Amino acid sequence: PMLRQSINEEKITAVIDTGDIVNQGYPQEGEAAGIFDGIESRGVPYLFVQGNHDKSSRHDTTLIERMSQIPNVTVLQPGVDQFTVAHVGDLTIAGVNDYMRWYGDDNQNNAAKQKPVVERFNKTFANQPPDIAVSHEPAASSNLINTGLTLAGHMHRDEVNGNHITNGTLTGGGIFGQNDSIDVKDVSSVF
Instruction: Name the pLDDT band for 105 (thresholds 50, 70, 90).
Output: confident
End-to-end CA distance of the chain: 24
- What strands, in cross-sheet order, belong to the sheet with 91-96? 86-88, 91-96, 132-135, 149-152, 164-166, 159-161
Per-residue pLDDT of 138-170, as tens digits, reads: 888 888 987 788 888 876 555 666 665 566 555
- What strands, in cross-sheet order, belong to the sheet with 15-17? 15-17, 46-48, 73-75
CB 121 within 8 A of CB 145: yes
Instruction: Name the pLDDT band for 122 (thresholds 50, 70, 90).
Output: very high
CB 153 within 8 A of CB 139: no
Q: What percent of the chain has pLDDT over 90?
A: 40
Per-residue pLDDT of 9-38, as tens digits, reads: 888 899 999 998 888 889 999 999 888 998
Burial of residue 105, with CB atoms counted within 10 A of its CB: 0-12 exposed, 13-18 middle, 19 or more buried: middle
Upper half-sphere CA count for residue 178 (Cβ side, 13 Å) = 13
Burial of residue 68, with CB atoms counted within 10 A of its CB: 0-12 exposed, 13-18 middle, 19 or more buried: middle
